[in-house]
Amino acid sequence: MKVKQILTGKEGENLFLLGNEAAVRGALEGGVGIASTYPGTPASEIGNVFSRIAKEAGIYFEFSSNEKVALEVSAAAAISGVRSFVAMKCVGLNVAADSFMSTIYEGVRGGMVIFVADDPSMYSSQNEQDDRLYARISGSPLLEPSNPQEVKDSMKFALELSEKFNIPVLVRTTTRVSHMRGVVELGKIERGKTKSTFEKNPRQFVVMPATAPKMRQELILKLRDIEEFANTWELNRIIDKGGDYGIITSGGSFNYVIDILDEYNIPAKVLKLTLSYPFPEKLVKDFLDSVKQVVIVEEVDPVMEKEVFIILGKYGIQKKVYGKLDGTFPRVFEYTPDIVRESLCKSFDLHLSQKESYKTDIPLPSRPPLLCPGCPHRATYYALKQAVNKLGIENPIYATDIGCYALAIAPPFEMADCNLSMGSSIGTGCGFARATDQKVIGFIGDSTFFHAGIPGLINAVHNKNKVMLVILDNRITAMTGGQPNPGMPFDGMGGTAPEISIEEVVKASGVGFIKTVDPFNLKRAEEAFTEALQYDGVAVVIAKHPCAAMITDRERRRKGIHITFDVNPDKCTRCMVCVKEFACPAICVAQDGSVHIDPLLCDGCGVCRQVCPEKAIEVRK
Amino acid sequence: MKNIYKIYLTGVGGQGIVRVSTIIGEAAMRKGLNVVMSELHGMAERGGIITTEVKIGDVSSAIIQDGNADLLFAMEPVEALRSLEKVGPNTSAIVNSAPIIPFTVSLGIDTYPEISQIITELQSKIKNLFVIDALELARKAGDTIVSNIVMLGAAAAIPGFPVEKELLLTSMKETFPASTIEVNYAAFESGYETVLSEISRR
């Protein structure tokens, strides 16, 4: 399949789509005119697909500088009457939360979907937060699709629901739904409005103490109406396989439940909640009345389980509930079919046979993620470490941030001491500078700097917090797969765009020491770091070199040039500096102890040549 | 019990696991079968482990229960061993014998087992095991990057594989640019023929 087919695929055609790809198709079928995102896994592919097809689809799409801005762009579109779609990862909603709360109060004129992808088991996130709780804090209706077809269909439905009740709708997936592929039958693409006229109504669209109380009252009324709707909506449905066991489930967990029931022929009634907030009290109460005992299968917090207890308490019903709170299901990490099978066995006192499986006693080498061969961050860390060591700086604090460069937590660099969230390197750096007498060195990437780094930097200068900050500008948003950011000369629709200069922003923030270096020149980089580390005040070094995975390699392949390097065995003394201190994965040690460079892995950056004290690394002939 | 074919694919970032899984899925869809697949992205792309799971048949979840895979498709020998929990008495396996040595071995933190030891271990657990040097076959086909397609051809020749060769070739044609389709076809054929001749020898 080619990405374009997500747009060009005809009504009735089947495509094998990722949940995230299906979300984009669903948005187009739902007549979305404006879409925005900040890339974050497990939601990253949404922006990737939009950026490839938005122009041809005739809609507007942007990679916003952060999730809050992305949400504001889409909120304003919906307030103006243009259907909109904003996507982000679970923790992105923390960034957007301030405006998110207000937009739920204000409501919309055109439909608005806020798509969030949670990450149980934290495959690519810093926490396991359950964004279904945000529906409850804000009062936004919540949809939980289970598979790519449902993801697509729920977009159109969410947009209609949003317009009908004049409220943005939250659609929540998990990694296993966003990154699930399945057969999706396409519907018709609706050409929605891309422009409208904003009709003024400050009582609806300006939140302040004079206006918000009325909005709050209206919100409660809306939620009552939506709950009424959820009680009878056909996609909140019961799958009756007989018996008097009850199971309430939603999202990705539903898939495990239904497969286990089918495989083992277990009689049970399953209530699948797709519109799971406002929690449909009447539907759930009737369901509880119809079963002897009930199991709640949900990821990742006991959210629906607590709602069930509220209903049982409110009506004084005695019923055994199995879930997370009684320890039947694990409290942390994502579910698997094995976990659901075993937990259902515990709940219903079943004994299901399971297949024998194997394991090996041979110790296996681990395979942690690493900075790629040719990664400019490796050169940056190497050069900085040299400077720190030569200056004899003892026990510096490395305040790092969200991005590939946090992989420097691993040996041999071990230059990641604290990280809270996007942009936190500078804010925590300010705190460390005040709370300790240790040297504080911060790391932040280009996209992360634009996202949430700038206020921290201004704070550091204004409050005279002495932080040495390294901005690792690899000319892309790398960790999420290579999306553009404001520092690049093109936008999310492939057009040209003004390139925002990090150096100018830093200068305008009042930073006293600024130097931009190419880390591939180790000597120059080390000199810059040495100077910056000795500067009395806020110092910034911008280490600027394109990401190896995104730009260098692609350009090289296009031009058909690919130089690689090798170790000259006559010169190599096996000092292991290149292996143990520079640590490029392309450099490997054979069983006889000799050092080689794997030509398949070598990116040809040549930085290892500068590292080798014996000048033993040469261009491969 | 419904007829569901479950494939567990594993390898290292950059080996084309997601691509080959999608080709299988699209071929199954073209045959009119239901198919679901699970894939992981993100940090694993940086030289880490990549696994995907494909289920073909009337099923909702793409995740395979322990011991339940019908086919283990391992692009790397150590990763085959790491996936043994998905392997049970009814599992067949196609394993690429070309290792990718993790950097932890160069750093001296871990050791990489002997390939012969890995294969002996796999043989002791998996009756229907096929081991091929997909890297070498890919090189002969014209480009080491097509190892995954050599493996796909090899998998397609294993009895019970639910999607016919022609459907897989059609999927490949719709996936790859015209300029690389010949080398991909050659890679597929070499894997396919290697396993067929191995089967006729047994």
- Nearest-CA distance B37 → chain A (Å): 5
pLDDT at A353: 82
Secondary structure of residue B98 in the 3-state scheme: coil
**In DSSP terms, which residues pair with A566 in a beta bridge?**
A618
Determine the residue among A20, A44, A181, A366 to mutate to test chain B binding: the one whose Cβ has the most chain B Cβ atoms within 10 Å.
Answer: A181
Which of A 372-401 lie inside 8 A of B, CB atoms? 372
Nearest to B103 among A42, A356, A585 (CB): A585
Structure tokens given for A148: 């790519």
User: What pLDDT, in 10s, does the model give residues A153-176?
Assistant: 999 999 999 999 999 999 999 999
Structure tokens given for A313: 């308490």
Query: By the 8 A CB rule, do A533 and A466 touch?
Result: no
| Contact between A355 and B66 using a beta-carbon 8 Å cutoff | yes
Phi and psi, residue B96, nearest 5°: -80, 125
pLDDT at A561: 66
The residue type at B53 = E
Give the chain A residue whose CA is nearest to the CA of B68: A355
Establish whether domains A5-232 and A376-555 are of one fold.
yes
Query: By the 8 A CB rule, do A162 and A114 touch?
Result: no
Q: Report which of A271, A270, A276 is spatially closest to residue A229, judged by C-alpha positions.
A: A276
C-beta atoms surrounding A590 within 10 Å: 10
| Contact between B35 and A357 using a beta-carbon 8 Å cutoff | no
Whether residue A552 is predicted with pLDDT greater than 80 in this model: the reply is no
pLDDT at B45: 58
pLDDT at A357: 87
Whether residue B72 is predicted with pLDDT greater than 80 in this model: the reply is yes
| Contact between A372 and B44 using a beta-carbon 8 Å cutoff | no
- Could you state, in order of their start, the residue ranges of all structural domains in chain A? 5-232, 237-348, 376-555, 563-619
User: What pLDDT, in 10s, does the model give residues A481-497?
Assistant: 889 999 999 999 999 99
Whether residue B44 is predicted with pLDDT greater than 80 in this model: the reply is no
Higher pLDDT, A501 or A357: A501
Give the fold, CATH level 3, of B5-201.
Pyruvate-ferredoxin Oxidoreductase; domain 3 (3.40.920)
pLDDT at B46: 63
Secondary structure of residue A546 in the 3-state scheme: coil
Give the chain B residue whose CA is nearest to the CA of A180: B38
Query: By the 8 A CB rule, do A226 and A141 touch?
Result: yes
Beta strands in A407-526 (DSSP E): 440-445, 468-473, 513-517
Q: Which residues of B touch A411 (CB under 8 A)?
A: 107, 109
| Contact between A369 and B68 using a beta-carbon 8 Å cutoff | no
Percent of chain A with pLDDT over 90: 91
User: What pLDDT, in 10s, does the model give residues A408-438?
Assistant: 999 899 999 999 999 999 999 999 999 999 9
| Contact between A366 and B104 using a beta-carbon 8 Å cutoff | yes
Contacts of A26 (CB under 8 A, 6+ apart): A151, A152, A153, A154, A155, A156
Q: How far apart are CA A498 and CA A284, in angstroms?
A: 53
| Contact between A365 and B81 using a beta-carbon 8 Å cutoff | no
| Contact between A14 and B29 using a beta-carbon 8 Å cutoff | yes
ipTM: 0.96
As a three-state string, the secondary structure of A417-432 is CECCCCCHHHHHHHHH
Q: Which residues of A touch B108 (CB under 8 A)?
A: 589
Predicted confidence band at A591 (pLDDT cuts at 50, 70, 90)?
A: confident
Place of tokens 């396989």: A241
| Contact between A600 and B62 using a beta-carbon 8 Å cutoff | no
DSSP-derived secondary structure for B99-155:
----HHHHTTSS-PPPHHHHHHHHHHH-SEEEEE-HHHHHHHHT-GGGHHHHHHHHH
Q: What is the mean pLDDT of chain A?
A: 96
Which of A 147-176 lie inside 8 A of B, CB atoms? 147, 175-176
User: What pLDDT, in 10s, does the model give residues A556-587?
Assistant: 655 666 789 999 999 999 999 999 999 999 99
For residues A171-200, average pLDDT = 97
| Contact between A42 and B42 using a beta-carbon 8 Å cutoff | yes
Q: Which residues of B touch A363 (CB under 8 A)?
A: 110-111, 113
Whether residue A334 is predicted with pLDDT greater than 50 in this model: the reply is yes
Which of A 331-360 lie inside 8 A of B, CB atoms? 336-338, 341, 354-360
Q: How far apart are CA A153 and CA A332, in angstroms?
A: 30
Using CA atoms, how far residue B31 sits from A12, A16, A276, A585, B57, in Å, is 16, 12, 35, 42, 11
| Contact between A259 and B61 using a beta-carbon 8 Å cutoff | yes
**Residue B19 CB-density burial (10 A; 0-12 exposed, 13-18 middle, 19+ buried):** middle
Determine the residue among A8, A16, A297 to mutate to test chain B binding: the one whose Cβ has the most chain B Cβ atoms within 10 Å.
Answer: A16
- Nearest-CA distance B149 → chain A (Å): 16
The winner for highest mean pLDDT among A349-353, A513-517, B99-103 is: A513-517
Contacts of A394 (CB under 8 A, 6+ apart): none
User: What does CATH list as the number for A563-619?
Assistant: 3.30.70.20
Whether residue A554 is predicted with pLDDT greater than 70 in this model: the reply is no
Predicted confidence band at A345 (pLDDT cuts at 50, 70, 90)?
A: very high
User: What pLDDT, in 10s, does the model give residues A36-85?
Assistant: 999 999 999 999 999 999 999 999 999 999 999 999 999 999 999 999 99
| Contact between A370 and B60 using a beta-carbon 8 Å cutoff | no
Burial A210-239 (b: 16+ CB within 10 A, else e): ebeeebeebbeebbeebbebbbebeebeee
- Nearest-CA distance A360 → chain B (Å): 7
Q: Which residues of B touch A42 (CB under 8 A)?
A: 41-42
Q: Report which of B71, B63, B65, B48 is spatially closest to residue A182, judged by C-alpha positions.
A: B63
Q: Which residues of A touch B36 (CB under 8 A)?
A: 147, 180-182
Q: Which residues of A touch B172 (CB under 8 A)?
A: none
Q: Which residues of A touch B82 (CB under 8 A)?
A: 364
Which of A 279-338 lie inside 8 A of B, CB atoms? 336-338
- HSE, side-chain direction, 13 A CA sphere, residue A233: 23
Predicted confidence band at A201 (pLDDT cuts at 50, 70, 90)?
A: very high
pLDDT at A352: 86
- Nearest-CA distance A394 → chain B (Å): 25
pLDDT at B42: 56
Find the angle CA(A337)-CA(A343)-CA(A349) to the nearest 5 degrees. 130
pLDDT at B43: 57
User: What does CATH list as the number for A237-348?
Assistant: 3.40.50.920
Architecture per CATH, A5-232: 3-Layer(aba) Sandwich (3.40)
For residues A527-549, average pLDDT = 96
Strands A595-597 and A587-589: antiparallel
Give the chain A residue whose CA is nearest to the CA of B118: A362
Give the chain B residue whose CA is nearest to the CA of A591: B106
In CATH terms, the superfamily for domain A376-555 is Thiamin diphosphate (ThDP)-binding fold, Pyr/PP domains (3.40.50.970)
- Could you state, in order of their start, the residue ranges of all structural domains in chain B? 5-201
Burial A268-279 (b: 16+ CB within 10 A, else e): bbbbbbbbbbbb
Radius of gyration of chain A (CA): 27
Q: Report which of A94, A241, A223 is spatially closest to residue A167, judged by C-alpha positions.
A: A223
